[in-house]
A = this chain, B = another copy of it.
Amino acid sequence: MALKAVLLNCTLKRSPEPSNTQALMDIVVGHLESLGVQCETVRVVDFAIPFGVDSDLGEGDEWPLILDRILRADILIMGMSIWFGVRCSVAQMVIERLDGTYNSTNDVGQYPMYNKVGGVVVTGNEDGAHASAETTLFNMTHLGFTIPPNADTYWVGNAGPGPSFIDAGGASHPYTLKTASWMAHNVVHMARILKRHPIPPEGNTVPVVALAEEMEDMAPGQEKRMLPAVMEEMDGMNGRARRWWRLSRH
């Protein structure tokens, strides 16, 4: 079965405005498709997504449409622009919404993003790619993603203002082209490895019965990362019991 990748373009610009980040993401898509991966790109800002930290904020919230695709994918690539030296607000908003996934598990009791692979694409007219990539890839490890080596590609110009990726001819910049290829290869290598040899649910699962009870008393969107802490007494918990606990919302 072909691997699936979802690529979220977190540009600030709505369609059909041209997106520099998309131009670099398209190069990554080219590599992924040549490696047999089925790709789907989503421009996040075209959807109605309220600020928040839950997976479904009710009527009119279109985040669940995007989350569904992520849950079905093997690879998530987050594309983003740099503003003021860090990742843009739409990328931060996406990460905040992914906080909601801490409330559920996969079939074996791990966070739902376990055994998925993450990568990052960054563009900006200058400085800030490391900051954008490092925060995002780290957040993804917290959510459950695995990050293979050289899992980012970026283009930035030199100090100060100047043309962005498309106008600057970033698409022929050797370093960016090479890291785009390395990144694409490595997320695919890792996704193939994890598909056949998933991370075993030992020492990294969420005690879901305890969880369900605890959650009743928690403020929504606030205590999700508590799960590790309530897991202690649940070590003997039956694996099958965990299976009822799924991504019930979706």
Contacts and interface: CB of A to CB of B under 8 A. Distances in A.
B137 A137 contact: yes
Contacts of A190: 146, 199
B146 A149 contact: yes
Contacts of A126: 156
A38 interface: no
The listed residue with most B CB atoms (<10 A of its CB), out of A170, A179, A196, is A179
Interface string A46-88: 0000011100000000000000000000000000000111111
Interface residues of A, number: 92
Contacts of A84: 92, 95-96, 99, 130, 135, 139, 142
A182 B228 contact: yes
A90 B148 contact: no
Interface string A100-127: 0000000000110110000000000111
Given A150-B204, A199-B193, A204-B186, A86 B159 contact: no
A203 interface: yes
- Copies of this chain in its oligomeric complex: 4
Interface string A128-149: 1111011101110111111111
Nearest to A11: B51
Given A113-B149, A158-B173, A189-B202, 12 more contacts: A51-B88, A84-B135, A137-B138, A137-B141, A156-B159, A161-B175, A161-B225, A162-B223, A175-B228, A178-B231, A189-B204, A197-B197
26 contacts: A12-B96, A31-B203, A83-B95, A84-B95, A84-B99, A85-B138, A110-B149, A127-B129, A127-B130, A134-B134, A134-B137, A141-B148, A146-B147, A146-B190, A148-B199, A150-B204, A159-B173, A160-B173, A160-B176, A161-B224, A178-B232, A182-B204, A182-B228, A184-B203, A185-B203, A189-B199
